[in-house]
Structure 1
């Protein structure tokens, strides 16, 4: 038999996260570090931070970089991600540290689970984060940097979020940033007979149009750079569509403008109002980076509401979210599953070789037994093999369970390798002398009776 010549435990690879969120960093910092486009973002981070696995989660609430690194490299990998975010935010790393969220290991897995449940969102328990995490994973896969640690962490986080979300208080009645934006204006009733414009045609725009479904607006217009995305969305919600070139004209006639694009720079600037008659106008900017230039708020008749201004509408009950026992218990339970998976994953070479060695010995002894029995029919041969397999499985059950669940599994694995002679330089089990075949009369005796 060919034996593995490598070490039988792989270097433990752990999860880490470095990021900014709405609780730790103001909007002006988050928007500078944000990834306006997720395409290629994970690959860029992986290359610059020298990581094999990366997940980039950049939303209106957060900019978080998840990675996987060998345990001996965790600290250095964390520092590389901090330096990368500091460079994007154009801030000294030491200054940015005051605004950062950093976790490693099971704490990073628990954080991702909390994010997936909506516990860390501005709007407590919101569900848009689920699609955002799935999209981030899809992008990481496309970039070739979604390995087994990221895949497992995301899978368990989404499962944890699904279980934890029903336990969260929803006393605000708001379930998305889009709903919070509408609520900040006084709800759909306050938009009666108003001219409303929605700039953008992504997921947030879809949420906005759903939130506006009960409003009796005078006019509802959807503006987007590409009409192919805007037309079907507008048709579903009874909105008119305007081209990007008509943005200034449409905004000039608007009472309320919602913006939710992924642009890296403001799409509404001072010049868009330069030729319009003075009038009361409200901009609700749901973009990060901001879609509405800050100087527009200087107009006396203009009101600008950004995402950080919406916190009060989505966070009723959030003060108790961290103390909500049932939701926290779900997060802890699934984070513990991630830790167990990590421990078992690091021991897979030992487990696999133990199984392989047991299978080798089983097959060898079955063939010897069948040779001694002489001529037996296929059914009898199958009975012998099945019995041998059951014996091996029963004998291995306890050692494998201990390897998978013991807190000191690494030391236990070393003992298993020694006891079962699994190390590369250990001598193979010597072959026994050949045993003569049994007489034909014995060989013909039925088995299993």
Structure 2
């Protein structure tokens, strides 16, 4: 089997392209199901955020090229544009590179704001969404679970997110550069979701007067109650622009909520500056250029936060080395899958032996009372379990090693576990999941992981 990632993000594609290469919440169900239905795809997870759109695929090694091509055709249909428009902005990772990429994404190392934790929740949501729709299976489930656990661990161990530099925080930093004091400034926040909530909390701490505008009034009311602001609907935007000093877009609207004509009309009848901060993708605010109007979008924030990332980048370098160990652990787990069908067959053999022996005993002793029958069955079960205990333990302990492979073959031969017919053989092959042709971890990865163990032996214990 082969793990593949195909995607684009803020490092490979401009915001004008990213806002077209994304999925709205109501599209996710159908998009994910149709992705999984591609002929070469065995498992699939779809991760889409304001700064990235990625598909994680499990496919047969022989069909990897086909899976990549079909996934790009699938993107073309969903994005409503020819492949040529976005193909050069895609990155494609396979096997170890794909696994490393997911660990980096989950830990926030690949984010616009290094170390931010919002992406961790988004990765978890994407995985749980795939599990709920049964598009992910044993392999991707284990990979995502391990990546999420790793990200939580390193954030806790290193305090990577202690210095707040999220996009929401970056918006408040930029605003403080434009206004000496935000106390009393009228801030209009479009959207009451996760990003809108973070923005509201930052600007509340700076003393700004907040108005929350949202499509669902109840959600606006809830957030306004938390931050001590007002709440309105999105239909009130033209009116609210008149009094706003700062407008911040955070919704998932497919079309701009603040048009260029709205801004021009409003700016013509005011003498104070208007700051437009667009954190949404697709963009909530149409691009506009005119005097006394200061407009910024997601790409602008990347430049603003660079000064706040030096410490985080140093920590990120340390965390990068931990990923080598995680990849080796994941590959070792993959190797253990080979032993699973043998263990199941061994236990089934023992169960079958016990049942046959009990039937034979009951035929020879028809007058056996129920209490005696249960007692004999219990002891027979214990005997079979004890007989198989040592082989099972040894198979588990040596899984993923050369000795383990030899032991698997020996167990199959000694206990006559080979399938009896072609149909059973096919089932066994499916369960076995062939990784013989999968690339082993690179020598560099193994070497770096080994060096870390030597360098920190007796000094640092990783939690």
Mind listing any 5+ residue stretches in structure 1 that lack a counterpart? 1-11, 427-449
Cα gap change, 1:50 to 1:215, in 2 (>3 Å): same
Task: State the 1:359 CA deviation.
Answer: 4.0
Task: State the 1:158 CA deviation.
Answer: 0.6
Q: Does 1:343 align with 2:335?
A: yes
Task: State the 1:120 CA deviation.
Answer: 1.1
Task: State the 1:261 CA deviation.
Answer: 0.5
8 Å CA contact retained: 1:189, 1:215: no
Task: State the 1:139 CA deviation.
Answer: 3.0
- Structure with bigger helix share is 2
Partner of 1:237: 227
Task: State the 1:21 CA deviation.
Answer: 1.4
**CA–CA distance in structure 2, aligned partners of residues 44 and 339 of structure 1:** 29
**Within 5 Å, which residues of 2 pair with 1:379-398?**
382=378, 385-398=381-394
Q: Does 1:58 align with 2:53?
A: no
Cα gap change, 1:35 to 1:49, in 2 (>3 Å): farther
Partner of 1:149: 139
Partner of 1:5: none
Task: State the 1:290 CA deviation.
Answer: 1.4
Task: State the 1:414 CA deviation.
Answer: 4.9
Q: Does 1:23 align with 2:11?
A: yes
* Alignment: residue pair count: 407
8 Å CA contact retained: 2:189, 2:248: yes
- RMSD, aligned CA: 3.3
The superposition leaves residues 21-70 of structure 1 with CA deviations (integer Å, 9 ceiling, x where unpaired) of 12222222221211132532312433467635322211122111112222
Partner of 2:123: 133
**CA–CA distance in structure 1, aligned partners of residues 244 and 120 of structure 2:** 32
Cα gap change, 1:410 to 1:299, in 2 (>3 Å): farther
Q: Does 1:323 align with 2:311?
A: no
**Within 5 Å, which residues of 2 pair with 1:39-50?**
39-40=28-29, 41-47=31-37
**CA–CA distance in structure 1, aligned partners of residues 327 and 78 of structure 2:** 30
Cα gap change, 1:254 to 1:170, in 2 (>3 Å): same
Cα gap change, 1:351 to 1:387, in 2 (>3 Å): closer
The superposition leaves residues 88-141 of structure 1 with CA deviations (integer Å, 9 ceiling, x where unpaired) of 556654564442222223432222121111111111211111221232234334
Q: Does 1:282 align with 2:275?
A: yes
**CA–CA distance in structure 1, aligned partners of residues 343 and 375 of structure 2:** 31
Tell which deviates more after alignment, 106-115 or 240-249.
Answer: 106-115
Q: Does 1:225 align with 2:215?
A: yes
Cα gap change, 1:358 to 1:95, in 2 (>3 Å): same
Partner of 1:198: 189
Task: State the 1:205 CA deviation.
Answer: 0.7
Task: State the 1:248 CA deviation.
Answer: 0.9
The superposition leaves residues 179-225 of structure 1 with CA deviations (integer Å, 9 ceiling, x where unpaired) of 121112227964222110000111111111111221222x3100011
**CA–CA distance in structure 2, aligned partners of residues 416 and 175 of structure 1:** 56
Partner of 1:442: none
8 Å CA contact retained: 2:160, 2:315: no
Tell me the secondary structure at the aligned position of residue 70 of structure 2: helix
TM-score, structure 1 as length reference: 0.79
Task: State the 1:301 CA deviation.
Answer: 1.6
**CA–CA distance in structure 2, aligned partners of residues 92 and 409 of structure 1:** 49
8 Å CA contact retained: 1:343, 1:409: no
TM-score, structure 2 as length reference: 0.77
Q: Does 1:422 align with 2:422?
A: no
Task: State the 1:172 CA deviation.
Answer: 9.0
Tell which deviates more after alignment, 94-103 or 388-397.
Answer: 94-103
Partner of 1:268: 258
Tell me the secondary structure at the aligned position of residue 220 of structure 1: strand
Mind listing any 5+ residue stretches in structure 2 that lack a counterpart? 422-463
8 Å CA contact retained: 1:284, 1:305: yes
Tell me the secondary structure at the aligned position of residue 25 of structure 1: coil
Partner of 2:237: 247
**CA–CA distance in structure 2, aligned partners of residues 123 and 364 of structure 1:** 64
Cα gap change, 1:289 to 1:168, in 2 (>3 Å): farther
Q: Name which of 382, 386, 400 aligns with 1:405.
A: 400
**CA–CA distance in structure 2, aligned partners of residues 202 and 342 of structure 1:** 38
8 Å CA contact retained: 1:54, 1:146: yes
Q: Does 1:184 align with 2:178?
A: no
**CA–CA distance in structure 2, aligned partners of residues 264 and 50 of structure 1:** 31
**CA–CA distance in structure 2, aligned partners of residues 171 and 352 of structure 1:** 44
Tell me the secondary structure at the aligned position of residue 387 of structure 2: helix
8 Å CA contact retained: 1:51, 1:67: yes
Tell which deviates more after alignment, 334-343 or 245-254.
Answer: 334-343
Cα gap change, 1:39 to 1:381, in 2 (>3 Å): closer
Tell me the secondary structure at the aligned position of residue 257 of structure 2: coil
**CA–CA distance in structure 1, aligned partners of residues 389 and 359 of structure 2:** 18
Task: State the 1:247 CA deviation.
Answer: 0.6
